[in-house]
């Protein structure tokens, strides 16, 4: 049985990946790793901007990152950067979102 390849091409290079390496589970893990990294970094950037009196990332954006699957990264960002710890919607909302996402993931994985 021949192996199908997915091509990712730019102007300078071309990379070929076997199509069977991109299962739905792997794509979900890649997405979750990315969104959690983005959430963590955004919380750090917003803390830096708060300290330097710069334009801030809207709170709605930070919460949407958590809702979009980045709740673990958001929670770690809150703890690591000591950011938004006094705001109730972050102090209780982000852990609640994380818990809800863990319950949903468990239900989908073990149903």
Look up the pTM and report it: 0.79
The predicted-structure confidence for 50-64, as pLDDT tens digits, reads as follows 999 999 999 999 999
Return the axis-axis angle of helices 93-110 and 71-81, rounded to nearest 10°.
150
Confirm if 17 and 8 have CB atoms less than 8 A apart: yes
Name the nearest CA neighbour of 104 among 6, 32, 49, 19. 32
In the prediction, which pLDDT does 10 show? 56
- Percentages (nearest 5) of helix, strand, coil residues in the chain: 70, 10, 25
Name the nearest CA neighbour of 17 among 3, 30, 1. 3
Confirm if 68 and 38 have CB atoms less than 8 A apart: no
């Amino acid at each position: 049985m021949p192996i199908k390849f997915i091509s990712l091409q730019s102007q300078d290079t071309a990379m070929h990946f076997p199509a069977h390496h991109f299962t739905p589970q792997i794509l979900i893990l890649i997405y979750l790793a990315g969104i959690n990294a983005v959430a963590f970094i955004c919380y750090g950037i917003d803390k830096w901007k708060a300290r330097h009196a710069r334009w801030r990332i809207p709170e709605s954006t930070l919460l949407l990152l958590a809702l979009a699957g980045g709740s673990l990264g958001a929670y770690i960002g809150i703890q690591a950067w000591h950011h938004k710890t006094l705001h109730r919607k972050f102090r209780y909302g982000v852990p609640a979102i994380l818990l809800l996402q863990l319950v949903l993931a468990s239900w989908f994985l073990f149903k």
